[in-house]
Amino acid sequence: MIKSSSTSCEMPPWVIFHIPHDSTVIPSEVRDQFVLDEKDLSRELIKMTDRHTYDLIVGIFPASQIVKFPVSRLVVDVERFESDYDEYMAARGMGVIYKTTHELKPLRRHLLPAEREHLLSKWYRPHHELLTVAVDKALNEFRRALVIDVHSFPSLPLPYETDLTAYRPEICIGSDSYHSPGEVVHAMSRSFESHGFEVGINTPFAGAMVPAKHYKKDERVQAVMIQIRRDLYVDENTSFLNESSTLVQERLKNALLQWLTLSGEMVPPFTASSADQPLIR
Ligand SMILES: [Zn+2]
């Protein structure tokens, strides 16, 4: 994939990219937890990993503004609530620590409480701490933060999904009722559409990522999710980049730059003068 020719100084410094599902790394110390053989585990990783989402973004933004989870979501899923009591996907065996595959078949052996705790303390909590620190740093320096959660999704629904009939546009924008101002979401949608993408809001996936410390407590933290349909840039059977990937990355970059320029000009709701000014100047 190409690297962006733009310089980082163009980028709003309060933006943080969160890349949770890019990695295929299964640390050897936890390999024995999975009941799949190598072939089936490889297939599961192809189905469940948002491959190359880091590559799509790192050429656009400096690495210092990217928080990437370093191991596979099959180890722990940092997008889930830590407690299964809070996480509705736990009912499908896909809470923070997956028990089932994308086909809702057995993925893992039963874990001892100490093994679960080890996964959370080694991978889940440190990652959330990194994201929280990045958001706090942006708030301290710029009085605002924007978390952009980047994913990809398959062109056809996987059996574990909750709505198998949902519309699957090329770009899905996920929003949160508290942290995603309508102006920001609509500007994002328009920017992607103006670069030729078919866009949907909260379909087939919904929501946005906000650290628990700030969730529904601090409106200075804005958040959106971008889900890119995988057939745009990879062969979905192998996860290898396809012949369109370079062009798609360029269009993504330009759409993001256009949108972030607009977002940067939007008056945040928390500034003293905002009551007298329109949202888009
Ligand atoms: Zn994902």
* pLDDT in the model for residue 207: 95
Instruction: For residue 5, tell me if it sits in a domain.
Output: no
The pair of structure tokens assigned to 8 is 């980082």
Instruction: For residue 125, tell me if it sits in a domain.
Output: yes
Instruction: For residue 239, tell me if it sits in a domain.
Output: yes
Instruction: For residue 38, tell me if it sits in a domain.
Output: yes
Give me the phi and psi of 270, to 5 degrees please: -105, 0
**What whole-number distance in Å separates Cα of residue 273 and Cα of residue 250?**
36
Instruction: For residue 225, tell me if it sits in a domain.
Output: yes
- Cα(17) to centroid(ligand 1), Å: 13
Domain that holds residue 22: 12-268
Q: In this structure, what CATH number is given to the domain that contains residue 75?
A: 3.40.630.40
- Cα(48) to centroid(ligand 1), Å: 8
pLDDT in tens, the chain (281 residues): 444 444 443 678 899 999 999 999 999 999 999 999 999 999 999 999 999 999 998 877 788 899 999 999 999 999 999 999 999 999 999 999 999 999 999 999 999 999 999 999 999 999 999 999 999 999 999 999 999 999 999 999 999 999 999 999 999 999 999 999 999 999 999 999 999 999 999 999 999 999 999 999 999 999 999 999 999 999 999 999 999 999 999 999 999 999 988 877 765 554 433 333 333 32
- Cα(185) to centroid(ligand 1), Å: 19
Instruction: For residue 276, tell me if it sits in a domain.
Output: no
- Cα(153) to centroid(ligand 1), Å: 7
- Cα(53) to centroid(ligand 1), Å: 9
Instruction: For residue 80, tell me if it sits in a domain.
Output: yes
Of 60, 17, 9, the C-alpha closest to 223 is 17
* pLDDT in the model for residue 11: 74
State the total domains in the chain: 1
Give a three-class secondary structure readout of 122-186: HHHHHHHHHHHHHHHHHHHHHCCEEEEEEEEECCCCCCCCCCCCCCCCCEEEECCCCCCCHHHHH
**What whole-number distance in Å separates Cα of residue 14 and Cα of residue 28?**
36
* This prediction's pTM: 0.90
Instruction: For residue 277, tell me if it sits in a domain.
Output: no
